[in-house]
Amino acid sequence: MATMEIRSASKNYGTIRVLDDINLEIGDGEFIVLVGPSGCGKSTLLRMIAGLEEITGGEIRIDDKVMNALPPKARDIAMVFQSYALYPHMSVADNMSYSLRLRKTDKPTIAEKVRDASSKLGLDALLERKPKALSGGQRQRVAMGRAIVRQPKAFLFDEPLSNLDARLREQMRAEIRKLHRELGATSIYVTHDQVEAMTLADRIVAMHGGHIQQVGTPLELYDRPANLFVAGFIGSPGMNFLKGDIADRCLHLCDGRTIALPAEMPATMGEATLGIRPEHVVLSPAGETGLEATVELVEPTGHGIILHLTLAGSVFKVLTHDRRWLEPGASVSVSFPTDALHLFNAEGVRV
Amino acid sequence: MTATRLFGTLAHRAAILCFIAFALFPLYWLLKVSVTPNDLLYSEGVRMWPSRTTLDHFRFVLANSEFPRFFANSLIVSGSTALVSTVLAALMGYALSRFQFRGKLWLAALLLITQMFPLVMLVAPIFKILSPLGLTNSLTGLVIVYTAFNVPFASFLMQGFFDGIPSDLEQAAMIDGADRFTAFRHIILPLALPGVAATLGFVFTAAWSEMIFALMLISGSEKATFPVGLLTFVSKFSVDYGQMMAAGVLALIPACLFFLLIQRYLVQGMTAGAVKG
Ligand SMILES: Nc1ncnc2c1ncn2[C@@H]1O[C@H](COP(=O)(O)OP(=O)(O)OP(=O)(O)O)[C@@H](O)[C@H]1O
Ligand SMILES: [Mg+2]
């Protein structure tokens, strides 16, 4: 178990800067989830922490010891790769015990630890198999087992579930959560998946273009996104944005209509973007209070319905449980509870 | 539809048969001449199989000629060359496959350039270099020269095999607590065995049949390898084809055995199951 500290870390590939001024403090036993679009540098950051990638600038500390120049084996970190990276010529048991054998652990201890891990992960019947005789989910579990047989200072996960089908992913997600509660190990977890991020994380780190955009608990990121990027990235379907100018305590849309703003928002500030989550929009029959819009597309998801409306010339999504507006072409009124509005200035920063 | 497909299959098979026949016919002829008694060699005209066969040539070659010694020399030289070259090529191929370093492109280009020179051009300079070192007329000298010539190509060969092994695997091993070299030995090398076998086989056969340097660097029959030894069956006035072919047939045996030994590793698919797929 360990604390971790990343101080203005950066990474260049040749002349291209892929990570810039990364600062992050991770507490003992914390579960951190890194999210961000493809290519934003999540894997690179993880690999820098693991020691697989050189650190161009700044510092990475584990338990207050600078790790920059240390090889992976000296950092005592376990990592689960997206590709699983199981050793194909070794049995499941040998895959899991490899790290212990390297440390010259005695045989009975190895056997015991492998048995422990395999019963935790339900791998008991598969110990003698080679990786190629396993299903994707089983391979994923072996990769997990390989990480937990020794008690490392921290766990790193690079999209460990992205190769699994939805059902299996749900199940593994719960198991990871359970494992973390049992082992209490400091963990950093990279994912594309909203739900994984929200359910697993103690804190989420949202990254974009090699920069950290916001760090906070899942609900902080959901309730108070720091900028347009985080606002659009967290939540599914994504937040709706309405562009306009603010004057007289109103947002003036490009089509001339206005939206009244709550008292705590600035009365005048020029160009701005108003954000509202699809699940917070209130629908009412056409003609009642609010802005009128046309239903373009209806996507029933089972537990709800996603309506695509056209508002002020762009797509506006609404998540509803009401089945009254299932007809494309229908006219509806949308209104916004004032406490669900997010305001961003011209630079995209939350006001 | 089925008729055209049938025709396609037949044509395909026929083409393969033609190729096999073409490739194997000289070997067949070698065998045929080696069992033909001397008195029938010229008297029977061109026949696919002599009316009478004999093993006399083999007996003579094994018992009364210096051939067994040539044979042993060749085994030593080819075996050592294969071993040394493959070890060097494995290390080199790994470096080429995994590391970015300054001058890598130049190094690769240089390796390729060495492959472009006709060997004959190099005989004189190499002789000049080796002779003050006492490495002419020595098997060690031959091993050094053969290794030097085989390592570049063998390195590229090994690099190709290493490129096919995901680097996630050795990184996983390094995270598990291995240093890079340990990861190489425990994880990468076992998976590259098909490549190692192919390289061993390639270098072994190249050294086994090499003639120019063996001829130029070795004088006398004490250190001669078998391709040079074959020339002893050519005398001033005649060529003893029967014995020569018998020696040739014998010389095929180690190459065949060698490939039999490594063919199990030549089978691909060792990395299946390593990563998703
Ligand atoms: N070896 C390399 N040489 C040059 N650029 C690289 C190298 N590896 C990664 N990059 C670049 O660094 C950036 C970050 O890559 P990284 O793999 O960390 O992204 P990621 O956030 O993990 O994306 P994904 O979600 O798709 O896995 C990318 O723009 C990528 O092109
Ligand atoms: Mg990645």
Rounded to the nearest angstrom, the minimum Cα separation between A183 and chain B is 18
pLDDT average, residue stretch A251-258: 87
Shared domain check, A115 and A140: yes
Shared domain check, A168 and A260: no
Q: What's the domain count of chain A?
A: 2
Question: Model ipTM?
Answer: 0.85
Residue A292 belongs to a domain: yes
The two three-digit tokens of residue A42, written as one number? 């999540």
> Contact at 8 Å (CB) between A171 and A121?
no
Residue A227 DSSP code: B
Report the pLDDT value the prediction gives residue B266, as an integer from 0 to 100.
Answer: 64
pTM over 0.80: yes
Shared domain check, A223 and A87: yes
| Dist. CA A81 → ligand 1 center (Å) | 15
Shared domain check, A154 and A28: yes
Quick check: B270 and A84 CB within 8 A?
no
Mutate to test the pocket of ligand 1, among A11, A13, A82 (most ligand atoms within 8 A of CB): A13
Nearest CA in chain B to A151: B176
Domain CATH number, residue A300: 2.40.50.140
Rounded to the nearest angstrom, the minimum Cα separation between B95 and chain A is 16
CA atoms of A150 and A14, how far apart (whole Å): 36
* Domain termination site, one of A187, A211, A233: A233
> Contact at 8 Å (CB) between A290 and A335?
yes
Range of the domain at A309: 240-345
| Dist. CA A44 → ligand 1 center (Å) | 6
Q: Is the pLDDT of residue A213 over 90?
A: yes
Q: Is the CB of A32 under 6 A from ligand 1?
A: no
Rounded to the nearest angstrom, the minimum Cα separation between B185 and chain A is 13
pLDDT > 90: what percent of chain B?
A: 40
Q: Does B189 touch chain A (CB under 8 A)?
A: no
Q: Is the CB of A46 under 6 A from ligand 1?
A: no
For tokens 């009244």, what's the residue? A260
Which residues in chain B have their CB less than 8 angstroms from residue A73's CB? 174-175, 177-179
Rounded to the nearest 10 degrees, the angle between the axes of helix B139-163 and helix B104-114 is: 130
Shared domain check, A250 and A229: no
Q: What is the pLDDT of residues A178-189, one digit of tens each?
A: 889 988 899 999
Shared domain check, A186 and A52: yes
Q: What is the pLDDT of residues A41-79, one digit of tens each?
A: 999 999 999 999 999 999 999 999 999 999 999 999 999
Nearest of A285, A289, A283, A290 to residue A306 by alpha carbon: A283
Rounded to the nearest angstrom, the minimum Cα separation between A199 and chain B is 25
B1 pLDDT band, cuts 50/70/90, is low
CA atoms of A228 and A273, how far apart (whole Å): 9
Shared domain check, A116 and A87: yes
Residue A165 belongs to a domain: yes
CA atoms of B162 and B198, how far apart (whole Å): 13
Shared domain check, A192 and A330: no
CA atoms of A128 and A95, how far apart (whole Å): 10
Quick check: A99 and B171 CB within 8 A?
no
Shared domain check, A99 and A161: yes
* Domain termination site, one of A208, A233, A258: A233
Quick check: B186 and A98 CB within 8 A?
yes
Q: Does B175 touch chain A (CB under 8 A)?
A: yes
| Dist. CA B186 → ligand 1 center (Å) | 28
Residue A351 belongs to a domain: no
The two three-digit tokens of residue A293, written as one number? 């819009």
pLDDT average, residue stretch A255-282: 89
pLDDT greater at residue A26 or residue B50: A26
Shared domain check, A101 and A220: yes
DSSP-derived 3-state class of residue A282 = strand
Q: Does A65 touch chain B (CB under 8 A)?
A: no
Sheet holding A282-285, edge to edge: A282-285, A331-335, A291-300, A305-311, A314-320
Q: What is the pLDDT of residues B100-155, one digit of tens each?
A: 899 999 999 998 888 887 878 888 899 999 999 988 888 999 999 999 999 999 99
Nearest of A172, A187, A214 to residue A31 by alpha carbon: A187
Q: Is the CB of A221 under 6 A from ligand 1?
A: no
Interface test with B, best of A49, A80, A83 (most B CBs within 10 A): A83
Quick check: A50 and B175 CB within 8 A?
yes
Ligand 1, atom 7, lies closest to the CA of: A13
Atom of ligand 1 nearest to the CA of A40: 21
CA atoms of B46 and B267, how far apart (whole Å): 41
Residue A316 belongs to a domain: yes
Shared domain check, A213 and A108: yes
Shared domain check, A200 and A72: yes
Using left for φ > 0, alpha for ψ between -120 and 50, and beta otherwise, residue A57 falls in beta
Sheet holding A57-62, edge to edge: A16-26, A4-13, A57-62, A65-66
Nearest CA in chain A to B170: A85
Residue A324 belongs to a domain: yes
> Contact at 8 Å (CB) between B97 and B159?
yes
Quick check: B275 and A98 CB within 8 A?
no
Q: Which ligand is nearest to the CA of A36?
A: 1
Domain CATH number, residue A110: 3.40.50.300
Which residues in chain B have their CB less than 8 angstroms from residue A98's CB? 173, 176, 186
DSSP-derived 3-state class of residue A260 = strand
* Domain termination site, one of A188, A212, A233: A233
Rounded to the nearest 10 degrees, the angle between the axes of helix B241-266 and helix B56-64 is: 90
**H-helix or E-strand spanning residue B152:** helix B139-163
Residue A282 belongs to a domain: yes
> Contact at 8 Å (CB) between B166 and B274?
yes
Quick check: A132 and B272 CB within 8 A?
yes
Nearest of A281, A348, A276, A266 to residue A320 by alpha carbon: A281
Q: Is the pLDDT of residue B274 over 70?
A: no
